[in-house]
Chains A and B, each alone.
Chain A
Amino acid sequence: MRLAGFFVFALALAAIAGEIPPSERHSGYELMRPETRAIQDDDAANPAMLWVMEGKGLWNERPNPGAHACADCHGDAGVSMKGVAARYPAFDVAAGRPLDLEQRINLCRTIRQRASAFAFESRQLLAITAYVARQSRGLRIEIGADARREPFLAAGREQFQRRRGQLNLACNQCHDDNWGKHLAGSLIPQAHPTGYPLYRLEWQGLGSLQRRLRACISGVRSEPYDYGAPELVNLELFLMWRARGMALESPAVRP
C-alpha cells in the first residue's frame, strides 16, 4: 500500500517535471519565419481580418425581423467584448460544464436571439468568433480560479497526457517534451492556443481550436471527437489554463 502510494507520487512528479515553466513558454508566433509574422503583424495583410470584417457585420445584423442583433444588447463590441475571449472556455451553469467561445455565441443565438445555431466551423461562426476575439488582442489569458471548473480542467489535463491512436502518442510527449524539434518538416510548437480562431496558410482559411485539435488527434491515427464534444472543450480549457498570462493574438496567422 505504502509502495503503491510512492509510485503514484513518483508518477505525479514525473508528470509535473515535463511541464514547461512559465518563463520558458513561447507563443507559436515566436517560432514562425519573419515572412509569416509580417502577415500577422499587419491588419491590412492578415487575411483573417476578412472574417473579422464579416463578423462585425453579423454583430450589427438582426438574424430575423424583430429579433435582437448582438449590438442591441451588447452595444459596442470594442467595450463589451474586451477581455471576453481571454476568459473562455468558461463554466456555464445551465449546461453544467464549461463552454468555449463558439458554443457561448451559439447559445446566445438560440436562446436570446431565437435564431438557429451556426454550424461548427461555418464561415459565420468563425467570423463572429473572430470579431469577438479580436477585441481581446494583446490582453492576457485569464483562466481564474473557479471551483466548479476544476474537475473539467483535471479531465482536460488527463486528455493532454493520455496516449492515443496507432502512434500511441500523448499531446505532452510532443508539446511539453519535444517542442522546438521537428516532426517531419514541421517545427513542433508548445501548443499554446493564443491566437484562435486563426488563419492557417495550410488551411487557406480561418479555423477554430477544435479544428486544430481534431487534426492533431487524427494525426496520431486516433478517432477525433466530434465538434463540440465535452472532451474537446476540456482540452481547450486545459490548454488555455496552461497558457494563462500569455497575450492573446487573435486572429493570428500560422503556417
Chain B
Amino acid sequence: MASALINVPPSARRGEIIQIKTLISHVMETGYRRTSLGVVIPRDILRLFVCSYNGEEVFRAEIHPAIAANPYFAFNTIATESGTLVFTWTGDNGFSATESVAIRVE
C-alpha cells in the first residue's frame, strides 16, 4: 500500500525559495539479502522520484538499492506562481504512486 507524507508551505511569496519534504512508505528491499534458508529475497525498490510544478519538472532523483526504507527527500524550489506540485514515485514490480499538493503564490 502506498502512502506518502508531503510537506509544502501552503502559501509563499513570488520568487521565494521554498523547501519541500516528502516521505513515502516503501520497504526498499535491496535484492542482496537472503532468508535464513539462503534464498535471495527479490529486489523491490523505488527507482525514480520526480516532482513537477505546474507541469514543469523541478526535481528528479534516481534511486538505488543503498537508499534506506521509507525514502525521505527534501529539496528546494522557487515559488513562481500558484498551482499544483505533482510528486511521482515509480519502482520495481510496477510500483507507481502519485500525489499532488496545491500551492498559493502571492
Question: Which residues in A have some Cβ–Cβ distance to B below 8 Å?
Answer: 42, 44-45, 47, 49-50, 53-54, 201, 204-205
Contacts and interface: CB of A to CB of B under 8 A. Distances in A.
Contacts of A50: 3, 5, 23-25, 70
Given A44-B21, A50-B5, A204 B69 contact: yes
Interface of B: 3, 5, 7, 21, 23-25, 27-28, 68-70, 72, 74
Contact of A44 (B5, B68, B69): B5
Contacts of B70: 47, 50, 204-205
Contact of B23 (A45, A54, A205): A45
Given A50-B3, A50-B5, A204-B68, A45 B25 contact: no
A165 B68 CA distance: 33
Contact of A53 (B3, B7, B69): B3
Contacts, number: 32
Contact of A45 (B24, B27, B28, B74): B74
B3 A44 contact: no
Contacts of A201: 68
A44 B5 CA distance: 7
Nearest to A45: B72
Contacts of A47: 23, 69-70, 72
3 shortest interchain CB distances as A-B pairs: A44-B7, A204-B69, A47-B70
Nearest to B26: A50
A44 B23 contact: yes
